Amino acid sequence: MKKSEIEKLIKDKEEYFLGWQREKADFLNYKNNEFERLKGTLSIAKESLFEELIPVLDSFLLAEKSIPEEEKKGNNVKGLLLIKKQLEDALKGLGLEEITTIGEKFNPNLHEAIEEIEGGEPGIVIEESQKGYIFQEKVIRTAKVKIGCYHS
């Protein structure tokens, strides 16, 4: 083989190798971008699921509050409360977090004040009327709360 042919082959090899490296980098970038897109899609799907299941959880919580204490030891009620706990655990496992309320300073980004109550510490949440939830630092639903206020 002539020296010029060898030089051409070396040059072609280097071009092919550089092309391969660019394609590999492009593919890795595509793969990472696709992974992020899928994570975003999954996040949106979870939010939608939470919006559907939170009212179901609210119904369980309301039902639990209305059951007299002496009846909570019965098997039927225990089963109902177990289902509620399973739902809570499943939602928590998917990343849904409850907003803390009682004793917390009122935060309009997390809490919706539905009433001011005299006698409590001003600006502090005294009672929770409806739970609020956060998913990945995004408020899914604000907590409905009652806060303390100054005497008039």
Do 118 and 66 belong together in one domain?
Answer: no
Q: Is the same domain home to 62 and 17?
A: yes
**How much is the pLDDT for 37?**
95
Q: Which of 54, 73, 94 is the last residue of a domain?
A: 94
pLDDT of residue 121: 86
**Residue 119 pLDDT:** 78
Give the count of domains, the chain. 2
The 3-class SS string of the chain reads CCHHHHHHHHHHHHHHHHHHHHHHHHHHHHHHHHHHHHHHHHHHHHHHHHHHHHHHHHHHHHHHHHCCHHHHHCHHHHHHHHHHHHHHHHHHHCCEEECCCCCCECCCCCEEEEEEEECCCECEEEEEEECCEEECCEEEECEEEEEEECCC
What is the pTM (predicted TM-score) of this model? 0.76
Q: Could you list the mean pLDDT of each consecutive 10-residue stretch along the chain, which spans 152 residues?
A: 85 90 93 94 94 95 90 86 95 96 95 90 92 95 92 61
User: Do residues 90 and 102 share a domain?
Assistant: no
pLDDT at residue 25 in the model? 93
pLDDT computed for residue 85 by the predictor: 95
Q: What is the pLDDT of residue 151?
A: 64
Domain boundary among 73, 94, 115: 94
Residue ranges making up the domain that contains 136? 97-152
Same domain assignment for residues 90 and 140:
no
Q: Position of tokens 């809570």?
A: 88
Together in a domain, 71 and 6: yes
Same domain, 18 and 70: yes
pLDDT value of position 152 = 58
